[in-house]
């Protein structure tokens, strides 16, 4: 389990370093997740240690939303003032994610039928 946690943290650190060095407008952990997916693809599967750590983190995922909820309440005036922009961004990103998922699924389905 410790080995899996170390791999995850190294990927996150590497993502942060890449973002800082290249000045990318993407959070470091996102780049780290892409690196982790590449690592897992190169290995051909998920290591049992990484699976144990990820299952444990997912079990307590709801607790990670508590600070975000507290932040919303602390800055409620800002949210109330800009609710239209926030709602538009949420709606737009949701629609964009659904369309992207649909297009990727269609591509993979057609590709799978061709093989």
0.95 exceeded by pTM: no
Stretches in the chain below the pLDDT threshold 70? 114-115
CB atoms within 10 A of CB 12: 19
Contact, 36 vs 7, CB < 8 A?
Answer: yes
Give me the pLDDT at residue 15, please: 95
Give me the pLDDT at residue 112, please: 76
Give me the pLDDT at residue 115, please: 64
Closest CA to 6 of 25, 24, 32: 32
Locus of tokens 């039928």 = 113
């Amino acid at each position: 389990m410790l080995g899996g946690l170390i791999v995850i943290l190294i990927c996150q650190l590497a993502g942060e370093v890449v973002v800082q060095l290249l000045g990318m407008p993407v959070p470091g952990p996102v780049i780290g997740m892409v690196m982790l997916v590449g690592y897992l693809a190169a290995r051909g599967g998920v290591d049992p240690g990484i699976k144990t750590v990820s299952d444990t983190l997912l079990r307590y995922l709801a607790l990670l939303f508590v600070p975000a909820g507290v932040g919303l309440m602390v800055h409620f005036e800002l949210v109330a003032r800009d609710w239209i922009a926030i709602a538009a961004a949420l709606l737009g990103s949701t629609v964009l994610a659904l369309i992207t998922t649909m297009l990727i699924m269609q591509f993979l389905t057609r590709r799978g039928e061709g093989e």
